[in-house]
């Protein structure tokens, strides 16, 4: 009897190779959808900053679920060119960068929508950078007034009162510091590494956020085989502690120096907007007490003495929660009341600036 010849067995390494290829492909697809994308970096000669190239789409997933498109000079939510006409420029850290919400929901764009609805001929532009403070903006205002002007009003958004306190450590950012003879500002210019300039664009275009995340984890991995207690470097002191070390006279003098320095750099009027830490959940209960209320009030008084505007959003944020039951911070994939401003918080900030401008009228821009 003839038996049909059986097919030769597939070598085991082929199964392994196919499984490895499928795993890599699956990890690439998942990371392309669920991880934050990598932002390319280029030098912008006009404003003297490293920014993302115009047209870059940044995808954010770790807090919220949003995409942001970069326009000229690193400004998110802009078309290919800067529109003509007077502008209100929003400065801030990650609260203004607002990568957790889509472009139409960012406070600058929400402000522009309000202006269109009410026939106010102003356009909102926003430039944010993680960890930045008022010291950083003092070295940028003049260049942006020249490149995107005319700017009718500078809005400086304070994610915390620590952003206007002297002598806080801000690694990788400009400094506001005290000296024996007074106070000073020191510019810090970011210089990315050569590999970052060369490869971030490739990582972004090929959606290789997962590979970069793996590289970072391996790079920062510390193995310790010796038994016993490991010593860990301490965290930076919170703003409240740093403020407690400065006397009221020191703060008053420091704020006078800071505000005068900003006014010397900017041709347009300035408005500070304080983003409070309320409402928030504390041990399962909603807390409406603002930890920095005293500092915010004192800084508002210092602004008034220098003819600088100041808004504290503690009232609007509290009223919003009492009326709707919704927090102004937090997203579906984060704890409620924590983190960055969501769509509600961004909109409330835009509304507060819009009301301020409407209330000031022509007197605001006649200064």
DSSP state of 334: S
Contact 258, 134 (CB under 8 A): yes
**118 is written with which tokens?**
């009410």
Instruction: Look up the pTM and report it.
Output: 0.89
pLDDT of residue 236: 46
% of the chain residues with pLDDT over 70: 91
- Residue 115: predicted pLDDT: 96
pLDDT for residue 49: 93
d(CA 327, CA 237): 27
pLDDT attached to residue 7: 63
Task: Please give the distance of CA 226 from its chain centroid, rounded to a whole number.
Answer: 40
Distance (Å, whole) CA 51 – CA 166: 27
- Cα gap 294→231, rounded to integer Å: 36
CA distances to 151, 201, 224, 332 from 71, rounded to whole Å, are 17, 16, 46, 28
- Can you list the domains of the chain with their CATH numbers? 13-221+237-365 (3.40.50.1110)
CA angle, residues 306, 176, 73, in degrees to nearest 5? 90
- What size, in residues, is the chain? 367
The low-confidence residues of the chain, meaning pLDDT below 70, are 1-11, 230-245, 362-367
Task: Locate 72 and state its tokens.
Answer: 């000229």
pLDDT at 356: 97
């Amino acid at each position: 009897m003839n038996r049909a010849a059986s097919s030769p067995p597939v070598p085991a390494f082929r199964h392994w190779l196919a499984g490895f290829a499928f795993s890599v492909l699956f990890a690439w697809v998942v990371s392309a959808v669920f991880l934050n994308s990598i932002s390319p970096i280029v030098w912008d000669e006009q404003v003297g900053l490293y920014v993302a190239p115009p047209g870059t789409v940044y995808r954010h997933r770790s807090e919220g679920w949003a995409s942001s498109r970069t326009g000229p000079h690193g400004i998110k939510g802009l078309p290919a060119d800067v529109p003509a006409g007077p502008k209100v420029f929003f400065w801030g850290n990650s609260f203004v960068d607002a990568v957790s919400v889509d472009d139409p929901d960012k406070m600058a764009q929400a402000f522009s929508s309000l202006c269109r609805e009410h026939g106010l001929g102003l356009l909102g532009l926003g430039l944010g950078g993680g960890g930045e403070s008022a010291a950083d903006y003092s070295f940028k205002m003049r260049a942006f007034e020249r490149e995107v002007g005319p700017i009718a009003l500078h809005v400086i958004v304070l994610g915390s009162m620590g952003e206007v306190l002297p002598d806080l450590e801000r690694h990788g950012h400009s400094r506001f510091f005290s000296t024996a003879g007074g106070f000073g500002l020191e510019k810090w210019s970011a210089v990315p590494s050569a590999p970052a300039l060369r490869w971030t664009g490739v990582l972004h275009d090929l959606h290789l956020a997962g590979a970069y995340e793996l590289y970072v984890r391996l790079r920062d991995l510390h193995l310790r085989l010796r038994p016993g207690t490991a010593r860990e470097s301490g965290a930076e002191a919170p703003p409240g502690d740093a403020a407690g070390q400065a006397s009221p006279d020191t703060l008053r003098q420091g704020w006078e120096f800071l505000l005068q320095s900003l006014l010397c750099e900017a041709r347009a009027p300035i408005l500070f907007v304080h983003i409070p830490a309320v409402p928030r959940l504390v041990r399962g209960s909603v807390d409406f007490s603002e930890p920095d209320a005293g500092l915010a009030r004192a800084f508002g008084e210092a602004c008034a003495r220098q003819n600088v505007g100041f808004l504290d959003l503690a009232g609007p944020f509290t009223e919003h929660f009492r009326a709707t039951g919704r927090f102004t911070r937090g997203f579906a994939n984060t704890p409620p009341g924590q983190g960055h401003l969501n769509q509600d918080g961004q909109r409330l900030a835009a509304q507060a600036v819009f009301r301020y401008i409407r209330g000031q009228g022509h007197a605001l821009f006649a200064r």
